[in-house]
Amino acid sequence: MSYDVIWSPEAELSYVNILQYLNEHWSYSELEAFDNIVNEAVDRISKSPMMYQYLKEKDIHRCVLAKQVSLFYRVKKSRKWLN
């Protein structure tokens, strides 16, 4: 059973800013590749949220997408959602 992934407003804004930057400075194919990487990671996280590094001091997980970009998320087991 998969978890629902709920993006925080801050995460959504950050993602849009990254896509805008890629659109302005890189090719469309690179923007599309990045978008695919994010979507695939979110799909993996929703299916197996414990698979990525857990940062106990902040109670979050970290999924590295690229050297400069990571997804950070919390698992809410009682509600079966991630944010």
Domain boundaries, the chain: 4-82
- Residue pair 44/54 in contact (Cβ under 8 Å)? The answer is no
| CATH number belonging to domain 4-82 | 3.30.2310.20
Q: What is the pTM of this model?
A: 0.85
| pLDDT 10s digits, 12-58 | 999 999 999 999 999 999 999 999 999 999 999 999 999 999 999 99
Which residues lie below 8 Å from residue 15, measured CB to CB, with a gap of 6+? 7, 38
| Amino acid in the structure at residue 31 | L
Per-residue buried b or exposed e for 59-83, using 16+ beta carbons within 10 Å of the residue's own CB: ebbebeeeeeeebebebeeeeeebb
